[in-house]
Chains A and B, each alone.
Chain A
Amino acid sequence: MLKTINCTVNGRAMELQVDVRESLLDMLRNRLHLTGTKQGCGVGECGACAVLIDGETLDSCIYLAVWADGKDIVSIEGLTGADGSLSDLQQNFVDKGAVQCGFCTPGFVVSATALLEKNPNPSKDEIRRGLSGNLCRCTGYQKILDAVESTADQRRNK
């Protein structure tokens, strides 16, 4: 069964035909070819598929595509500048060595973006809590936490 939805993806308004069985993750990857968003577990455990929906971080693997109707969706591709330059947070992920295999990174960047938006001065514990829905098999997390913390510091001192 197909349904027509209207939504904004990374700033672009669009009308799409989606299957009711489709997840938002399927829609982003397979219809829009936005493959920055990853599928890890597919059941809301790992956060690799996190995207911003109306500014909140959500797991797109357990979000039906039809629910995107009327929503403002931002995937990892929408966080970089129009010229492809990295956001300050992404740059800090690079500088702090918070990326190893990189599979979890889009989800972490998305969740951390939402976290800093909501709470520009998070404590260490608040950062941990804000990222607790994202798993990483490589980094041991510390460098990811460092990247988020320095982003908050830099933004404060700007």
Chain B
Amino acid sequence: MYQINGYFEASTIKEAIDYLAGNENSQVIAGGTDVLIKTRERKSGYTDKDLVGIMRIPELKGINLDDDGNILIGSTTTFTEVEEDEIILRNIPSLSAACGSVGGPQIRNIGTIGGNVANGATSADSASTLFAMDAVICLEGPEGKREMPIKEFYLGPGKVAMNKGELMTQIKILKENFMCFKGHYIKFSQRKAMDIATLGCSIMVKTTGNKIDELKVAYGVAGPTPIRATEAEAMAKGMEITAENLDLIGEKCLENASARDSWRASKAFRQQLIRELPKRAIKIALGGGE
């Protein structure tokens, strides 16, 4: 038995928001792969809650293109659904790979991309790729709807910019942030499955000939929240793709990072990964393979 106070199944966004806003003790639950574990561990703030289930709200599910060609991902779309979705595979395969790297099949069949982001973990597999694509988080609450860039959504470890009563409805990826880009995600972990990334690196790169027009490098576990290597990105603009330049880019990526020691890996090892992974990811994204 879980130490839960009550359970409410919301069938519309409005029902969920009304319940969340009207009950101080409420807690959203989607696939439960995060919330139920914390409840099981009796983590403070996760016991005796009135849970609000949102998996049966049809508007929160599925992946669509809007009229402008932007990709809209419903917050309760599962990792498996994102991984196998045609729109995702065709336009942003790196997000498919990122979602496919989460846990194992059972977790991917129920864990949601919205939950992955909403729990605020730096290690979230989907988050670095969403950072690399400057995803927009769409929220709805008692005061109406609002949108914000994903980098403003993350406030600190486990902390996100969501107010009481608010629900994440969608994750939006603007066309200009994936059209003409090639992307790749590398999850560096000790095991191939059922593991949390030692470091995650997702890149998006746009090139003309052998020159970088635009580069985006995002990391998970290189700081308290997912981050972008903005210094390296600025430097990379216009650079020729050579081994020396890739080394320079990798080195520069350290400037935005604040890797730490943990039992999974030392700071020095993570720094080496921070240097190395974007180089590999760029080469693979551009078809160089490794």
Query: Which of A's residues lie within 8 Å of B, judged by CB?
Result: 1, 3, 19-23, 26, 42-45, 47, 50, 56-59, 62-64, 66-67, 69, 111, 114-115, 128-135
With a CB–CB cut-off of 8 A, which chain A residues contact B254?
Answer: none
* Interfacial chain B residues near A115, Cβ < 8 Å: 105
Q: List the B residue with the shortest CB-CB distance to A46.
A: B194
Can you list, as one digit per residue, whether each of B97-141 has a CB less than 8 Å from chain A (1) or not (0)? 000000111110110000000000000000000000000000000
Please tell me if the beta carbons of B107 and A20 are within 8 angstroms of each other in the complex.
Answer: no
Per CB-CB distance, the 10 closest pairs between chain A and chain B, nearest first, are A133-B104, A132-B193, A20-B7, A133-B106, A21-B1, A132-B104, A59-B106, A56-B109, A62-B36, A21-B4
By secondary structure, the A interface counts as mixed
Within 8 Å by CB of A132, from B40, B55, B105, lies: B105
Distance of A77 from chain B, by nearest CB (Å): 19
Q: Which residues of B contact A (CB under 8 A)?
A: 1-4, 6-7, 9, 32-33, 36-37, 40-41, 51, 53, 55, 80, 103-107, 109-110, 192-194
A57 touching B1 by the CB < 8 A rule?
no
Task: Give the chain B neighbours of A66 by CB distance below 8 A.
Answer: 7, 9, 53
Q: How far is the CA of A93 from the CA of B287 in the complex (A)?
A: 41
Given contacts A59-B107, A62-B33, A128-B192, 19 further A-B contacts (CB under 8 A): A3-B7, A20-B7, A20-B51, A44-B106, A47-B104, A57-B109, A58-B106, A62-B32, A62-B36, A63-B32, A64-B7, A64-B36, A67-B53, A114-B105, A129-B105, A129-B193, A131-B105, A132-B194, A133-B106
Q: From the candidates B3, B103, B105, name the one contacting A21 in the complex (CB within 8 A).
A: B3
When chains A and B are docked, how far (Å) is the Cα of A21 from the Cα of B4?
A: 6
Q: In the complex, what residue of chain B is closest to A42 when comparing beta carbons?
A: B40
Give the nearest-CB partner of B78 in chain A: A56
Q: Is the CB of A58 within 8 A of B2?
A: no
Q: A64-B7, A64-B32, A66-B9 are in contact. Are A58 and B104 (CB under 8 A)?
A: no
A-B contact pairs, 14 of them (CB 8 A): A20-B6, A21-B2, A44-B37, A47-B104, A56-B80, A56-B109, A57-B109, A58-B109, A63-B32, A64-B53, A133-B103, A133-B104, A133-B107, A133-B193
The interface residues of chain A lying within 8 Å CB-to-CB of B105 are: 57, 111, 114-115, 129-133
Please give the distance in Å from B124's CB to the nearest CB on chain A.
Answer: 16
Instruction: Flag if A44 contacts B33 (CB, 8 Å).
Output: yes
Contact B194 A45 (CB under 8 A): yes
Contacts of A63 in B (CB 8 A): 32, 110
Q: Check if B9 sits within 8 Å of A57, measured CB to CB.
A: no
User: A22, A131, A132: which contacts B1 (Cβ < 8 A)?
Assistant: A22
Query: In the docked arrangement, what's the CA distance between A115 and B51, Å?
Result: 32
Bound complex: CA A23 to CA B29 (Å): 14
B106 touching A50 by the CB < 8 A rule?
A: yes
Task: Return the chain B residue nearest A19 by Cβ.
Answer: B1
Q: Is there contact, CB below 8 Å, between B1 and A26?
A: yes
CB-defined contacts of B36 to chain A, threshold 8 Å: 44, 62, 64
Across-interface contacts of A128 in B (CB, < 8 A) = 192
Is A133 touching B3 in the complex (CB atoms < 8 A)?
Answer: no
Query: A44 contacts which of B1, B4, B107 (Cβ < 8 Å)?
Result: B107
Bound complex: CA of A45 vs CA of B195, how far in Å? 10
A73 to B37, CA, bound (A): 22
| Complex-state Cα separation, A111 to B110, whole angstroms | 14
Which chain A residue shows the least CB distance to B103?
A133
> Please, how many angstroms separate the alpha-carbon atoms of A126 and B71 in the complex?
29
Given contacts A62-B33, A129-B193, A132-B193, contact A57 B106 (CB under 8 A): yes
Least distance between A33 CB and chain B CB atoms (Å): 17
- Enumerate chain A residues within 8 angstroms of B55, measured Cβ to Cβ: 67
A26 to B105, CA, bound (A): 21
Distance A133 CA – B79 CA, assembled complex (angstroms): 14
Report chain B residues within 8 Å CB of A59: 106-107
Residues of B within 8 A of A131 (CB): 105
Residues of A within 8 A of B9 (CB): 66, 69
For B109, list chain A residues within 8 Å (CB): 56-58
Q: Which residue on chain B has the smallest CB distance to residue A110?
A: B106
